[in-house]
Amino acid sequence: MSRALFAKTRRIALVVASASVLALTGAVTAAAAPTATDDPVRTTGEVNKSLNFSCEFPLVGQRSVTAQITATFPDSVPAGTPIDVTGFNVAVEIDAEITDAMRLVGAATVEGTAAPNVDVDINGTPLGVRLNGMRIPSTPVPESGSMTVNIVGEVPSLTVQSAGQVSFAVGDEFSGRVTPRRADGSETSLGTFDLPCTMDAGQDPSLATVTVS
């Protein structure tokens, strides 16, 4: 082979080799590029909201209660990643007249279940969600004065597949089933009663808005 032909052949081989390396490098870079699911979930922190509700109690009729809602929402999540709401708690303050009525029937504790409503808006589409299965843990009835009962439980995750905004707000109603018990654990003459509650008008029920990217 002549020297000129050898040099030309060598140059062609180098070009082909260089092109192959560049192609391989491009393929690896593309494979390593982050996808939307690699984005972190950023937590906005604990949200606290105080709202007034009117509830229909046995013996005393309609009474006003204050509900302190606490929950932690993510600030943003990638599309297709569950939106997890954690630390959910509703502390309901019950006035002295209601606790007086509980003591009147011999109640030493109250317990039960609750179903708060949550309004969810997904990219402009409103949805009403009822959180069934929430618990009211057994709470002592004080000898005098008001008392606070808590509504606790797990909030189901919500997964949104497209980018946008998801807003959460307290629904305008919640219901409970409450059982007062005597010191020996037996039920009082009230048995288990329904407790329907409606949010008082003129309040801001918004909790958080989560960005889906």
pLDDT digits (tens, 9 = 90+) for 68-124: 999 999 999 999 999 999 999 999 999 999 999 999 999 999 999 999 999 999 999
The predicted pLDDT at position 45 comes to 74
**How sure is the predictor about 43, in pLDDT bands with cuts at 50, 70 and 90?**
low
Choose the weakest-confidence range: 43-47, 97-101, 126-130, 147-151: 43-47
The predicted pLDDT at position 3 comes to 38
Choose the weakest-confidence range: 6-20, 56-70, 109-123: 6-20
The predicted pLDDT at position 206 comes to 96
Query: Mean per-residue pLDDT for 156-178?
Result: 95
Query: Measured between alpha carbons, how far is 70 from 66 in angstroms, rounded to an integer?
Result: 13
Q: Which residue has the tokens 């003129």?
A: 202
Query: Mean per-residue pLDDT for 181-195?
Result: 97
pTM for the full model?
0.76
Element (H, E) at 5: helix 3-32
Query: Measured between alpha carbons, how far is 78 from 44 in angstroms, rounded to an integer?
Result: 15
Query: Is residue 19 over pLDDT 70?
Result: no
Query: Is residue 138 over pLDDT 60?
Result: yes
**69 and 49 Cβ atoms separated by less than 8 Å:** yes
Please state, in angstroms and as integers, the Cα–Cα distance from residue 13 to each residue in 1, 9, 95, 201, following that order. Answer: 16, 6, 89, 80
Query: Measured between alpha carbons, how far is 109 from 184 in angstroms, rounded to an integer?
Result: 10
Query: Mean per-residue pLDDT for 130-153?
Result: 96
Q: Is 101 helix (H, G, I), strand (E, B) or coil?
A: helix
Q: Which CATH architecture has domain 37-212?
A: Sandwich (2.60)
Domain boundaries, the chain: 1-33, 37-212
Classify residue 117 by burial, with Cβ atoms within 10 Å: 0-12, 13-18, 19+: middle
Query: Measured between alpha carbons, how far is 190 from 112 in angstroms, rounded to an integer?
Result: 13
Query: Is residue 212 over pLDDT 90?
Result: yes
**How sure is the predictor about 46, in pLDDT bands with cuts at 50, 70 and 90?**
confident
Query: Mean per-residue pLDDT for 167-175?
Result: 95
Query: Is residue 186 over pLDDT 80?
Result: yes
Query: Is residue 8 over pLDDT 50?
Result: no
Both tokens assigned to 72: 């932690």
Both tokens assigned to 213: 């990217």
Query: Is residue 28 over pLDDT 90?
Result: no
Query: Measured between alpha carbons, how far is 30 from 44 in angstroms, rounded to an integer?
Result: 32
Please state, in angstroms and as integers, the Cα–Cα distance from residue 147 to each residue in 124, 135, 153, 186, following that order. Answer: 39, 17, 20, 21
Query: Mean per-residue pLDDT for 39-53?
Result: 76
